[in-house]
Chains A and B, each alone.
Chain A
């Protein structure tokens, strides 16, 4: 009998089957042992189009298990990229063995139900499973062909992709946790090279959704083309102090970085510049930052966190005053508070830790869109692309220095393009120097909303 058939027997179909499997493995716990079993399964399709042909078509299914064992306040973890019957017991045994080597820590424990009801969010598109591969191929080829003809300055369409994922997961523990979730997502993305004379510039665009329907090729195309074309002829911009406007996509990236300093674990371990500052003014009075995964529009929306507790709305900064941090069960115990339902994990091969899923800034009272923010700023730099975010931003010290591309802002409007410049400050100073938050909220892939931001007093290094 093939392993897959066994798996079907073991895990059944749908999340009920996964729950039953997780329950069965958790049932193997020995006395005195806490066991948490996370099982996940997914299917994905990816189509890449290039020059009128399918460059690649990937179809795949995957499944895996991650087990945490806590014995005498020691934690062990093991995972396997399979749900084969033979693998389950082996993985539990390995987690058990690992626990024996950890340092006992009174705060180490599994989550227990806290009575907070989950807000059900519908993240599943039933229609996706019925979409034939041919339709997905057609969408990717159509995106490629239209983008190629969108503007005479488009020299190359590097890649035009369609992708979708269906994922199901279940979590069961001997401490009373029992949760399951399922989620579908689809995307279109396109990346182009525009050229004019000696100048070549690149741009990318995408459209995301819960499934196949609703994906918008025009949106992906327009975004990629306009981003590449408007940078043509860019020169190294001038050095100096300036207000910088970050477009929605870059704002998502910035908020994601700030979020790592709001982790209760980073704070407890002295790795956050926010440590010890609850109740203090850490940002501009107009800065209100909330993580709310119960908002179904959010890309990272979820009913349950990675330890099976209900996700909930957590206010982190209000009126510039730091209100609190995000906790999972262990970091909450260390801080002497309750979990905020903020555990996240990177699939079955990862262990949970506190993190954001759906950050948003409260929009300013003016209700600005991008043009509104530009008009309000008057003179400055508009940034549409940042590089070196992983090498140039230190969420512990707060030092911030990244490469940027974009356009100068003159008279409240976008002017000439610039490239090969850096923008620098510290995260601490950037929070205090917030000049405008757009009301143009767009939920982009990632853990934070996109909304146009203006930040004052940044150092630009260029020509």
Chain B
């Protein structure tokens, strides 16, 4: 994307006014997507963008500028703008020599491309399968999107790294219409792969699952309100951990004392059944990459082991302050954004209980087959997550479907209320939003039970 001597000159320019650290992050991304809605292929879209973000760190201050102009002139202008914050610093010419390029791809494969017609055929197959699931299905939307993202990172420590990330997702959303009104179902499959995604995922199965959720909810009764035991199905959404503690373990919140987990390393913060891992190297999961957006190879980080908090997640800036290495969690949405501490694939390791037994041993509660999104306030630990497919558990048996509701809890409290974890582990893809930036993440967990969670239904 950019020649090494150019990068070296741009980094020198960025430190012309002084400063402790300079970095060039260049990105070239192309996207294509297609949507089938209301039985028509409505929109094929393609997009391309490339550019670079340059940051200069001087003491506790970061200067940042970005440009879509990757010529040397364009990069030098951005470097000058970013270096404005270092004015009054030491200054002087500093020669930057970049080391050999590091490109960590792990054991990922992928990047096979498909034609536009291939994508349309998948959309049509999904539409048919969803509509064939039941006469109640009144509307189907299927979406396909694929992107290739090449990144190049060079910094004044001499680091030079690159990565190429292919990502593909496919989603189906259904509306079912009945006497009680409309209900919806949604399923998505997403991997850090190209068209290889479809070797692993059946779009028909995805469509049938989405349709069956919408159909089942037509006869759903209002969710209960108040506190009840909750059983989360394996892979229903490790989003619980993403929200209930993952965000609170991000070092940017920690260093600002804006997390309930500040100062708790070495302490018991969860049930002994909880071992929580964030791992950017897992297969082709949605949050997987070779190097992070600061050029650091993805790695496996154990955050909580047998209930004891072992570490936080780190990016370059926060790690530097603490005199340690980044944990490979510096990510950004695009070259237009500063990196932040972000999760990758965050999951609870499986336990040894039997999933069916957990349900059988729950006299009354809620069984969550699928979770939607969630949100947390890291300072208080209070979080919510929404169910998109849930059932009542009565006398140890899964019975009636429930209408969508949010569950609400407090992170540190809920982690102590996990009393059973099964073996049936699986992962789900998600999009994590933080401070206006979205990045792809994975979440995972096996079937597990929480002894009490507040359910925000409308039934008294």
Contacts and interface: CB of A to CB of B under 8 A. Distances in A.
Contacts of A87: 48
Contacts of A402: 384, 406, 456
Contacts of B68: 3, 62-63, 81-82, 84
A270 B138 contact: yes
Interface in A1-49: 2-4
Interface string A71-88: 000011111111010010
Q: By CB atoms of chain A within 10 A, which of B38, B139, B384 has the most? A: B384
B305 interface: no
A387 B48 contact: no
B122 interface: no
Contacts of B223: 401, 424
A387 B377 contact: yes
A53 B60 contact: yes
Interface residues of B, number: 82
Interface stretch (B95-103, B164-172, B179-187, B350-358): B179-187
A2 B456 contact: no
B256 A78 contact: no
Q: By CB atoms of chain A within 10 A, which of B48, B62, B120 has the most? A: B48
A60 interface: yes
A29 to B, nearest CB: 18
B389 to A, nearest CB: 12
Given A155-B257, A396-B182, A461-B456, A269 B139 contact: yes
B247 to A, nearest CB: 13
A406 to B, nearest CB: 13
A423 B117 CA distance: 46
A420 B409 contact: yes
A442 interface: no
Interface in A394-412: 394, 396-399, 401-403, 405
B135 interface: no
Interface stretch (B287-295, B368-376, B393-401): B368-376
Contact of A420 (B43, B59, B184, B408): B408
Contact of A394 (B47, B184, B379, B459): B184
B225 interface: yes
A96 to B, nearest CB: 11
Contacts of A91: 48
A101 B36 CA distance: 11
A461 B256 contact: no
Q: By CB atoms of chain A within 10 A, which of B64, B182, B409 has the most? A: B182
B42 A392 contact: no
A401 B47 contact: no
Interface string A118-150: 000000000000000100000000000000000
Given A387-B375, A391-B373, A423 B456 contact: yes
A398 to B, nearest CB: 7
B147 to A, nearest CB: 12
Interface stretch (B13-21, B69-77, B106-114): B69-77
Interface string A251-291: 00000000000000000111101000000000000000000
B44 interface: yes
A93 B181 CA distance: 44
Q: By CB atoms of chain B within 10 A, which of A81, A403, A423 has the most? A: A403
Given A56-B64, A403-B375, A79 B408 contact: no
Interface string B282-316: 00000000000000000000000000000000000
B405 A399 contact: yes
Contact of A3 (B74, B410, B454): B74
Given A62-B336, A392-B384, A271 B44 contact: no
SS class, residues of chain B in contact with chain A: strand
A445 interface: no
Contacts of B234: none
A459 B458 contact: yes
B454 A421 contact: yes
A2 B404 contact: no
Contacts of A80: 47-49
Given A102-B42, A103-B41, A461-B455, A424 B175 contact: no
A351 B40 contact: no
Contacts of B408: 387-388, 403, 420-422, 461
A434 to B, nearest CB: 17
Contacts of A401: 223, 386, 404-406, 456-458
A415 interface: no
A24 to B, nearest CB: 20
B60 A57 contact: no
Contacts of B449: none
A57 B372 contact: no
Nearest to B68: A82
B66 interface: yes
Contacts of B372: 391-392
A79 B45 contact: yes
A56 B385 contact: no
B406 A403 contact: yes
Given A78-B46, A424-B225, A397 B256 contact: no
Contacts of A387: 375, 377, 382-384, 408
16 contacts: A57-B63, A57-B64, A58-B64, A58-B66, A62-B336, A75-B43, A82-B51, A101-B41, A269-B38, A273-B182, A391-B372, A394-B404, A396-B175, A403-B456, A424-B457, A461-B408
Given A273-B181, A351-B45, A388-B385, 15 more contacts: A53-B59, A54-B85, A57-B62, A58-B338, A95-B46, A105-B42, A201-B379, A236-B454, A269-B139, A391-B375, A392-B406, A394-B404, A396-B183, A403-B406, A421-B408
Interface of B: 34, 37-51, 59-71, 73-74, 77, 81, 84-85, 116-117, 120, 138-139, 175, 177, 181-184, 217, 223, 225-226, 256-258, 336, 338, 371-375, 377, 379-380, 382-386, 403-406, 408-410, 454-460
Q: Which 7 A-B pairs have the closest CB atoms?
A: A422-B456, A81-B49, A391-B386, A391-B373, A388-B384, A461-B225, A392-B406
